Structures are given as C-alpha cells and as structure tokens.
Amino acid sequence: MISGRSVRCWLAVAGLVLFAAGGCTNNAPSNNIESAPERWGPLAVVDDPAAEGLDARGGAGPLHIGEDCVTLRLEEADRGITLVWRSGQVQWDESTREIVFENPGEGKVRLSDGETIEVGGEDMTDPSPEWLAKPAASCPSEMFTVHSVGEG
C-alpha cells in the first residue's frame, strides 16, 4: 500500500501495475529517526494515530528532556521511566527543545524540561511496536505510552 506517497516510475504490464525498483524516487517525507533526527529529537515515538484512549495512571514527577531520551522520574517509586509518545499526539519543537502534545479534550500543551507532570496512558507491553523513533539504549528499559498529561 502506497497511500500518501508520490512514487515515480510505474510500469504497466497486462493490466497489472508493478513498481520498478531501479531509479525510482520516493518523495514522501521520512519518519525514520536516522534520516530525520530533527523530526522527533529525543522522543521515543510509535506509529499510532491516537484514536483510542488509554486510561491507566502512569505516575507523577519531574519531566527530563535529555539529549537521547525523555523520561519521567516517578516520585512515589523513586525510579525513572522512558516515556513513549504516539505519533498522532506529539510533535518535537527543536528550536525550544519542547514537546508539543495534543492533550485529549484540552488541546495542545507545551512540555519543558524540569516540569512536574502526571501522565496517563498504559505500560508499554508490545514487544515490537512500529517505531518511528526508537528509544536510545541508554534510556530506562521500563516504558510508558503517554495518552494524557496533567499537572503533577
């Protein structure tokens, strides 16, 4: 399925459409973190339109936006978790190093390093999600998928 992509080099044979691999260009923007690191910055992002709500409480604490990952220091448990963002709800603003998050029912909020927040969503249990930007190996292995953010 090619939806949303502008691909040149079509070859029609006996009513079938085939894609010629050699010499074709794909003008679609890449979501791959290796080819577009500025797109997601330090965010760990899964390909998810965020159409469904996730309602588990993830905890509260200070948000840390590092060079390689975004974590939340859970004050009640005294441990850090890696926050995983759904592509349908998040953007990275490189110029301010802030997370622009679409909070359900509230609109866009900007999240900065050091803010104390509370997250809702669900524990990351999918062993192989469709990553748009994988978390760095140095990030905490415990992950939480964010659906909502409130004041901590």
Q: Write the pLDDT tens digit of every residue in 106-124.
A: 999 999 999 999 999 999 9
Q: Quick one: pLDDT at residue 51?
A: 84
Residue 47's alpha-carbon distances to 13, 36, 125, 131, in angstroms, are 34, 15, 15, 6
Bridge partners (DSSP) of residue 19 are: 10
Q: Write the pLDDT tens digit of every residue in 71-109.
A: 999 988 889 999 999 999 999 999 999 999 999 989 999
Domain count, the chain: 1
Comparing C-alpha atoms, which of 39, 28, 30 is closest to residue 4?
A: 28
Higher pLDDT, 132 or 22: 132
Is pLDDT of 68 > 50? yes
- Note the helical H segments in 8-71: 37-40
Is residue 72 in a domain? yes
Is residue 48 in a domain? yes
Q: Quick one: pLDDT at residue 130?
A: 95
Q: Write the pLDDT tens digit of every residue in 1-19.
A: 333 322 222 222 223 222 2
Map residue 40 onto helix, strand or coil: helix
Is residue 10 in a domain? no
Is residue 12 in a domain? no
State which residues form the domain around 114. 37-151
Map residue 63 onto helix, strand or coil: strand
Is residue 66 in a domain? yes
Residue 99's alpha-carbon distances to 13, 35, 65, 85, 87, in angstroms, are 48, 20, 9, 10, 12
Return the ∠ at Cα 29 (arms to 12 and 105), rounded to 5°. Answer: 120
